[in-house]
Amino acid sequence: MSVKVFDTKEAQDLLKAAANVGSQDGSARARQIVHRLLGDLFKAIDDLDMTPDEIWAGVHYFNKLGQDGEAALLAAGLGLEKYLDIRMDAADQAADIGGTPRTIEGPLYVAGAPVRDGVSKIDIDPDPDAGPLVIRGTVTGPDGKPVAGAVVECWHANSNGFYSHFDPTGAQSEFNLRGALSTGVDGKYEFRTLMPVGYGCPPQGATQQLLNVLARHGNRPAHVHFFVTSDKYRKLTTQINIEGDPLIWDDFAYATREDLIPPVVDKTGGTALGMKADAYKEIEFNIELTPLVQGKDNQVVHRLRASATT
């Protein structure tokens, strides 16, 4: 067809009407965003000469995305979540703020894990294919001094790459492989758990459907998520990768970072720690928090999160 209508008065008036530009009611910010995003879409339809069939395929894709509950998964897979990190990183760099690097939260956190003191064994369900793993470290401030009373939360997948609460097989207990603990005066935390395996998108889901069309895979390397919270510092959202995973630099969600691949060390003495075997793996991951900005966490992210109680 190759017609151009975007700059016509008819199209521009339609765009303004749809976003209700000029109204004093509702949300001015929502009008601004809708006007811009819808305008960018209208323009793209013109520029790429997108067909009605393509538009309707896209509209119905949104229905499937919602039915599958995968909008946040797609946000990770399309790099939207990573892009927000790139922006926060740039803001920190401009303000000369360092600390342990952030990386994306992903869609699989569940609030409400019971908070323990210092040490927590978080593998509740047996998993014969997963070896024992200790993840431990010290939480410090920018001055290198230990932070007491920091809450360290972690969550990760089992040997099938499935997370409790979201396990399609229904096999896991609530809060299996999810922990929360509070640091003592030494700033130390220690999770006793089992080695995770990388995640793969649901094969029949909307996210994988789009990735297939783009000739992309929907897999993540093995990883462990963290939230670290303290009254005195900004909340850190991060992950560590399990070194040696073949997908470590081929994560469909783009979360791998050089400083977030701590060595995995072979240890013995696991039986005395209550682990399921004497030989176990250990990862030391020390965490440096960043200062509040004018007394506030200026980057804390509010989003809808699952929660459960035990």
Name which of 1 and 304 has its Cβ closer to ligand MBD. 304
Strands 119-121 and 132-140: unpaired
Question: Minimum distance between the CB of residue 107 and ligand MBD, rounded to whole angstroms?
Answer: 6
Applying CB under 5 A, among 106, 187, 196, 270 the residue interacting with Fe ion is 106
Rule CB under 6 A: which of 47-76 touch ligand MBD? 73, 76
Question: Minimum distance between the CB of residue 106 and ligand MBD, rounded to whole angstroms?
Answer: 3
Q: Does 178 bind ligand MBD (CB under 6 A)?
A: no
Is residue 155 within 8 A of residue 178, CB to CB? The reply is: yes
Q: Does 221 bind ligand MBD (CB under 6 A)?
A: no
The first and second tokens of residue 254, run together, are: 């783009």
Partner whose binding site includes residue 130, from ligand MBD, Fe ion, none (CB under 5 to 8 Å by kind): none
- Read out DSSP for the chain? -----TTSHHHHHHHHHHHTTT-SSS-HHHHHHHHHHHHHHHHHHHHTT--HHHHHHHHHHHHHHHHTT-HHHHHHHTTHHHHHHHHHHHHHHHTT--SSPP----S--EE-PPEEESEEE---S--TTS-EEEEEEEEE-TTS-B-TT-EEEEEE--TTS--TTS-TT--SPTTTTEEEEE--TT-EEEEEEE-----B--TTSHHHHHHHHTT---B--SEEEEEEE-TTB--EEEEEEPTT-TTTT--TT----GGG-PPEEEE--TGGGT-SSSSEEEEE--EE--B-BTTB-TTPPP---EE---
Q: Does 196 bind Fe ion (CB under 5 A)?
A: no
Question: Minimum distance between the CB of residue 104 and ligand MBD, rounded to whole angstroms?
Answer: 5
Site size toward ligand MBD (CB under 6 A) is 10
Site stretch for ligand MBD (CB under 6 A), options 28-36, 82-90, 105-113, 142-150: 105-113
Q: Does 106 bind ligand MBD (CB under 6 A)?
A: yes
Site stretch for Fe ion (CB under 5 A), options 7-15, 33-41, 104-112, 301-309: 104-112
Partner whose binding site includes residue 73, from Fe ion, ligand MBD, none (CB under 5 to 8 Å by kind): ligand MBD
Name which of 132 and 205 has its Cβ closer to ligand MBD. 205
Site stretch for ligand MBD (CB under 6 A), options 11-19, 100-108, 270-278, 284-292: 100-108
Question: Minimum distance between the CB of residue 242 and Fe ion, rounded to whole angstroms?
Answer: 12
Q: Cα(first)–Cα(last) distance of the chain, in Å?
A: 60
Question: Minimum distance between the CB of residue 197 and Fe ion, rounded to whole angstroms?
Answer: 11
Give CA–CA dist 95/97, Å, rounded. 6
Q: Does 199 bind ligand MBD (CB under 6 A)?
A: yes
Name which of 147 and 224 has its Cβ closer to ligand MBD. 224
Residues lying near Fe ion in the complex (CB under 5 A) = 106
Residues lying near ligand MBD in the complex (CB under 6 A) = 73, 76, 104, 106-108, 199, 220, 253, 255
